[in-house]
Chain A
């Protein structure tokens, strides 16, 4: 029997379905930090975040038989988290949370045509992302913060891959425009 740490997510899920429910703990361990990080972009309050994260794992467990084992588990669990986050936002009609600390990893990939000073970009982007439409913001977050591929984002957001590309590219240019409008053109 393989040690659960060596097993893929999909293998673990198959085993959990077969009755080894303790193995679900491994799934929680693997995803709790990632999902906390992801959900933090939408929910600022710690207690609320904790509740939503718990709901995500419980829904994942309840719907285990809905998962198609030939697909990627990470996309599926992110899809559940994505839906839960959206529900939470709708439920409380709140503005999304943008904790500056979470934006530390705003990477160099997010090069808005070198038009902004990277050292200032982080705090400015924090302010600007809130002003963007949900779809562009989410695509940017998933790609640049959660390091998801276009295919995974397509599975999480249930949109065609081409649309993912369009949203990311458009999101970047909208972000650039907002940054320029808010802070002026960099010298």
Chain B
């Protein structure tokens, strides 16, 4: 392209500008764009923190992690009530937050790997800190739809308070009513005496009425998961 063409370009552009056909986009458009992008980013991070808080809360307050102590027998019970939806949601939110940062050219001076690590770390830290408060409990009691599938109504695991001890059977009170547990096929004997009033957790298989346990663990009342304890006591109080 020669000098003449360059001058033509200058003239053509200045003509467009002077005629008003080409105008600068108003300042508020850019401001709105920036606010929009920052808002979506902030929202993704806030929801991710909430989801993370709920995941931490469910693991802490439910008996889910106890099933892992049964080894392979408890693995299915653990997976059955694994908060998959929350974790998938959390991962999607983290991904979208990182993508927004990348696409919007924010923090491009920092290596993207560092940005990802800092984002994930901040979300997890925020979620854990929030889980220490009673915030998650309030959300959980208000919105059950965020609960993991089969939560407290598993087929591979059961937990509750013993109300009757019989010959090779137990009756326990669970948040979903009473359940009969067949203890004749126990592979691992419970480490403590099974008696009325103790909390137990069992892995095996069964349905709403009957449950064939392959391992049973006695939990001290203090060790019993907070959510289960709360649900059972609520039911007992209502019944009384």
Which residues of chain A have a CB within 8 Å of any CB of chain B?
17, 21-22, 24-25, 28-29, 32-33, 36, 46, 49-50, 53-54, 57-58, 61-66, 154, 158-163
Q: How far is B14's CA from A22's CA once the two chains are assembled, in angstroms?
A: 7
Q: What are 5 of the A-B contact pairs (CB < 8 Å)?
A: A21-B17, A22-B18, A28-B14, A57-B9, A65-B30
Secondary structure type dominating chain A contacts: helix
Q: How far is B18's CA from A23's CA once the two chains are assembled, in angstroms?
A: 11
Which among B1, B10, B22 is the interface contact of A25 at CB below 8 angstroms?
A: B10
- A33/B6 contact (C-beta < 8 A), A50-B1, A62-B23, A158-B108 known: yes
B10–A63 touching, CB < 8 Å: no
A46–B5 touching, CB < 8 Å: yes
A65–B10 touching, CB < 8 Å: no
Chain B positions within 8 Å of A49 at CB level: 1
Secondary structure type dominating chain B contacts: helix
A160–B13 touching, CB < 8 Å: no
A29–B27 touching, CB < 8 Å: no
Q: Does B144 reach chain A (CB closer than 8 Å)?
A: no
Q: How far is B17's CA from A32's CA once the two chains are assembled, in angstroms?
A: 17
A24–B17 touching, CB < 8 Å: yes
Starting from the known contacts A28-B13, A62-B25, A163-B111, 17 additional A-B residue pairs (CB-CB under 8 Å) come to A24-B17, A28-B10, A32-B6, A32-B9, A32-B10, A49-B1, A50-B9, A53-B9, A61-B13, A62-B22, A63-B25, A64-B24, A65-B24, A65-B25, A154-B108, A160-B110, A160-B111
Which among A29, A64, A160, A162 is the interface contact of B10 at CB below 8 angstroms?
A: A29
Q: Does B105 reach chain A (CB closer than 8 Å)?
A: yes
B107 to chain A, nearest CB (A): 9
Chain A positions within 8 Å of B27 at CB level: 65
Chain B positions within 8 Å of A158 at CB level: 105, 108
Chain B positions within 8 Å of A162 at CB level: 111
B102 to chain A: closest residue by CB: A158
B70 to chain A, nearest CB (A): 48
Per-residue CB contact flags for chain B residues 12-39 toward chain A (1 = under 8 Å, else 0) read: 1110111000111111011000000000
Chain B positions within 8 Å of A17 at CB level: 24
B14–A25 touching, CB < 8 Å: yes
B115 to chain A, nearest CB (A): 10
Chain B positions within 8 Å of A57 at CB level: 9, 13
Q: Does B222 reach chain A (CB closer than 8 Å)?
A: no
A66–B30 touching, CB < 8 Å: yes
B82 to chain A, nearest CB (A): 38
Interface centre among B5, B16, B17, B105 (most CB of A within 10 A): B17
Which among A36, A63, A159 is the interface contact of B1 at CB below 8 angstroms?
A: A36
